[in-house]
Structure 1
């Protein structure tokens, strides 16, 4: 099916110019019509007033019986004529002497007036004629007074010519100015587009130019640069993650292959239990590492998960109770009644990773404390131990992926340096935080999670 394209300009610049010109054209048309109508009505009213004044004056003279045969013209009147009820002209101005009645329209008896545009006189211009009925000693007469509409006609013509010439010129000026202004306004946008088009996976360090003017385009450029910063950071993290994951996977795979090669080279049944045991440990390590990598990928993708109200004290108790074979017991101090909106599996994983980290480094004691920060409406989860502690310079680095402060020890205990990174990502997914904070015994890892709105 072929789509029919609408005849509409494709560029913002052309659309803005066309839209502005159309709006101005409509406004000018409405204003021109209104101006022309007002001017025409005003000139017609002036002519009508002049003729009416002359007719009233002559009508008063006729009523008093003082009507002369030759009627003088006043300013604004072009002719005047008095006609009796039989249609005979009884008086007229100099320019109508000897002419028949200019009209046969008779107003009703009394001082009523009738106004209409008469036929051309003299120079061929239209006339505004006013008829007034007056009672004289000899009977009723009709006074016709007229004034030329030459000024109104000339003004109408001049106005039409002026509008016919001025309107296209004004519209052309509006179009040119709009085209120029829009072009200057969109020039930074084109520069941004050109720069973004040049940015590739190998040139993520490039940024779009920010205009000096503090306008919407400048804010767009700053937002675009912030987005590019996040994109570059994400790509760098992804590349580092892939490199670290490849390195971490290579080590157990190499060890597992070596063990299998040794088993094949020395088919001694007495060695097989140890070889199988070691191979199983490396297989479990590979499985755990693959699970961690999959969870990190889900966290990075911010996949939606179901969230329900969770009693944090109950979650901590069941998590600690389910840990069998821990090197050290875990002392707990849990404030009841703290409810958090979250995913149970992920929060259990967060707590498990924190406790696993404490088990690796503690000397004789591990403490788990849950309390609330009512001012900030937060549930505070603290895991502390009496181990060697964390140097100040490394208190943020330990949350980076594949980071080990004691590489040999962590590798022997099966750690890949992902536990705390996963725990922090889970905390962020729940709109919380995870940091190393000072503690009376040195430092501890503290998670802060928002309390449920329906909680205490």
Structure 2
């Protein structure tokens, strides 16, 4: 059994084109076989019914002759009948057709298709017969009339019809197979072109695209989807290369400065100068540590996707705690939380989002920073605004500031310790929680607005400063 299954598996067609053609031919063959069998059976039944009707009609005519006493020893044959034999109650032949005169009475040899069969070798021919038997009362007693009708015509028509249907079915199956093979090949030609193009695309050829058929079918949509995927891969590869280049540049400068400071401190004779150099090296080390932490967090956010912690977070309490824990700031922070808002997400990442926004606001504020948390029950969102009264951002730069390592003022950002990763990390965290982060200008300066899906909004709270 296992060997048969293995052999069937090996012999089974492997290509979609061959399987489709085989399935089409098999389906058509089964339908034609059933239809041909039905046609042959109906034709056979019709012909046999006609033969039986003719034999029964002659048997009735002979029975009427016997009843009227006009029965003769030699009986004529109608068209379509092979023999007639009339037997009395004693088994003697009292009348017969010309071909059975002098022959003994026919004896039944069994039953076939619900009809009795008789030994007809006396006729000198071998073919199917349909024998009709009737009983009639005569002046001399009851007699039995046997009339045999030949099925020679029915057999011949059956054979011819079967052969014709077989030939026609074979032609139809071959035609369907050829048409299916050709149509499937034409339909799958774009798929093969897509496969060949995708196989030729390497990690450095992501700018290539698969050919898109002009038809608006599943294959065209597949090609469109493949090209959209290739565009995303190309964009992701470009971002990755740019990120690696920017990260290398960002790490190279502080490492070079750090090495210079340590080399000078190692050889400088003045202890005070060495202390200043070591202190500067420590600051650069802290900056490198912060930069590496941000890079690791970005890598984690890029690979996390939707696999994040989903737990209820009291956003109002998180905002208050984060603001109060920062200690003395270069500028005072005004906190407004009129609503009690609960969201679903990761509290550590949401705290990092607010911390990055506060760091950015403190670097650019002139006098004050304002944090406002509101719950928009109709939109089902929590709205967190972090505003500063610093210089406004040009409309053309409002998206650029969310790019990694992007700075509108490199010198100022470096002096203040900015790495160019705070806002991109904040936007990625917001997106990971199903929200958005945008920058907009206000009358007082610049506001960074975060929208997050809200879990619960409760009544008014209080204002802190």
- SS of 1:51's equivalent in the other structure is helix
- SS of 1:144's equivalent in the other structure is strand
Q: Which residue of 2 aligns with 1:41?
A: 45
Residues 25-34 or 408-417, more deviating: 25-34
Q: Which residue of 2 aligns with 1:435?
A: 438
Cα displacement (A) at 1:429: 0.8
- SS of 1:282's equivalent in the other structure is helix
CA deviations over 1:363-388 (Å, ceiling 9, x no partner): 11211111122232111111111111
Q: Which residue of 1 aligns with 2:158?
A: 156
Cα displacement (A) at 1:290: 0.1
Residues 361 and 77 (structure 1), Cα distance of their counterparts in 2 relative to 1, 3 Å cut: same
Q: Which residue of 2 aligns with 1:171?
A: 173
Residues 178-187 or 365-374, more deviating: 365-374
> 1:263-274 residue pairs with structure 2 within 5 A?
263-274=265-276
Residues 250 and 26 (structure 1), Cα distance of their counterparts in 2 relative to 1, 3 Å cut: same
Residues 438 and 44 (structure 1), Cα distance of their counterparts in 2 relative to 1, 3 Å cut: farther
TM-score by length of 2: 0.90
Q: Is the 8 A contact 1:117 1:126 kept in 2?
A: no
Residues 278-287 or 46-55, more deviating: 46-55
Q: Which residue of 2 aligns with 1:119?
A: 120
Cα distance in 2 for residues equivalent to 1:401 and 1:125: 97
Q: Which residue of 2 aligns with 1:87?
A: 91
Cα distance in 2 for residues equivalent to 1:405 and 1:47: 105
> 1:322-337 residue pairs with structure 2 within 5 A?
322-337=325-340
Q: Is the 8 A contact 1:119 1:126 kept in 2?
A: no
Select the residue among 399, 405, 410 that pairs with 2:408: 405
Cα distance in 1 for residues equivalent to 2:402 and 2:226: 28
Q: Which residue of 2 aligns with 1:318?
A: 321
Residues 7-16 or 432-441, more deviating: 432-441
Determine if the alignment matches structure 1 residue 17 to structure 2 residue 18: no
Q: Is the 8 A contact 1:114 1:132 kept in 2?
A: no
Q: Which residue of 2 aligns with 1:277?
A: 279
Cα distance in 2 for residues equivalent to 1:25 and 1:67: 56
Cα distance in 2 for residues equivalent to 1:75 and 1:282: 121
Q: Is the 8 A contact 2:86 2:144 kept in 1?
A: yes
Q: Is the 8 A contact 1:118 1:128 kept in 2?
A: no
Q: Which residue of 2 aligns with 1:389?
A: 392
Question: Unaligned regions of 5+ residues in structure 2, if any?
Answer: 1-5, 459-465
Determine if the alignment matches structure 1 residue 186 to structure 2 residue 188: yes
- SS of 1:230's equivalent in the other structure is helix
Q: Which residue of 2 aligns with 1:110?
A: none
CA RMSD of aligned residues (A): 2.4
Select the residue among 47, 57, 63 that pairs with 2:61: 57
Cα distance in 1 for residues equivalent to 2:405 and 2:272: 37
Q: Is the 8 A contact 2:110 2:118 kept in 1?
A: no
- SS of 1:162's equivalent in the other structure is helix
Select the residue among 231, 244, 254 that pairs with 2:256: 254
- SS of 2:234's equivalent in the other structure is helix
Cα distance in 2 for residues equivalent to 1:93 and 1:163: 38
Residues 137 and 207 (structure 1), Cα distance of their counterparts in 2 relative to 1, 3 Å cut: same
TM-score by length of 1: 0.91
Cα distance in 2 for residues equivalent to 1:327 and 1:346: 24
Q: Which residue of 1 aligns with 2:3?
A: none
Residues 258 and 166 (structure 1), Cα distance of their counterparts in 2 relative to 1, 3 Å cut: same
